[in-house]
């Protein structure tokens, strides 16, 4: 985000804190991005729409608590989104689902330094399903949502360096899991 866009966003936030109608700019700017983020997790358009509405309602209700800390407003919305999705799954006792393309899996393989496992993308999906929700959220934010480590740190309430360390630990764990599973298959 360039300086001009950032200034426009910060002005919109300040206006929205005083006049609820000014929130429309933020809603329009981020609705699709947040909706798609949630849709990847719930795989149901109606549910994604409901949860996205909840995210923006909570953002509006708590806008007076928002403080700019060097991160785009979207980081705050992502944090609210993650909480809403997690809350939904806790209430319904279901597991989180994330849709992934083969290209996205390929990027994870490269970053995890996992040697090509041929067409065994099912193995990588199996491994992703075995990770904790926090680990899959780290993977998702970095590789699918293309968030910087700085933004991931803001979303999780940790430092940028800690976000890097956590992600690389997840990637190392995935590499070990691939090695173990491929070893058992022989």
pLDDT of residue 45: 93
**Quick check: is 97 in a domain?**
no
| Pair of tokens at residue 148 | 């910087």
**Quick check: is 50 in a domain?**
yes
pLDDT of residue 143: 82
Domain residue limits at 62: 3-92
Both 51 and 122 in one domain: the answer is no
Count of domains forming the chain: 2
Any alpha helices (H) in the chain, and if so which ranges?
Answer: 3-18, 23-42, 45-61, 73-92, 102-111, 121-130, 133-139, 149-156, 160-185
**Quick check: is 87 in a domain?**
yes
Average pLDDT over residues 141-158: 85
Better-predicted residue by pLDDT, 110 or 162:
162
Average pLDDT over residues 102-130: 66
Query: Please, are residues 71 and 150 in contact by the beta-carbon 8 Å criterion?
Result: yes
Better-predicted residue by pLDDT, 43 or 165:
165
pLDDT of residue 186: 46
pLDDT in tens, 65-91: 998 888 889 989 999 998 898 888 878
d(CA 94, CA 25) in angstroms, rounded, equals 34
Both 63 and 85 in one domain: the answer is yes
């Amino acid at each position: 985000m360039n300086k001009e866009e950032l200034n426009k966003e910060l002005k919109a936030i300040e206006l929205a804190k005083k006049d609820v109608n000014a929130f429309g700019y933020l809603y329009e700017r981020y609705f699709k991005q947040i909706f798609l983020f949630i849709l990847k997790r719930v795989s149901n358009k109606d549910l994604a729409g409901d949860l996205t509405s909840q995210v923006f309602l909570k953002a509006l209700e708590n806008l007076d608590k928002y403080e700019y800390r060097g991160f785009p407003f979207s980081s705050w919305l992502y944090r609210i989104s993650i909480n809403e999705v997690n809350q939904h799954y806790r209430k319904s006792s279901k597991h989180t689902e994330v849709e992934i393309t083969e290209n996205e899996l390929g990027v994870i393989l490269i970053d995890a330094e996992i040697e090509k496992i041929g067409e065994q993308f099912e193995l990588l999906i199996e491994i992703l399903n075995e990770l904790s929700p926090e680990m899959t959220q780290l993977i998702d934010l970095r590789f699918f949502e293309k968030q910087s480590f700085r933004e991931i740190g803001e979303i999780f309430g940790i430092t940028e360096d800690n976000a890097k360390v956590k992600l690389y630990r997840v990637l190392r764990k995935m590499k070990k899991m691939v090695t173990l599973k491929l070893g058992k298959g022989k």
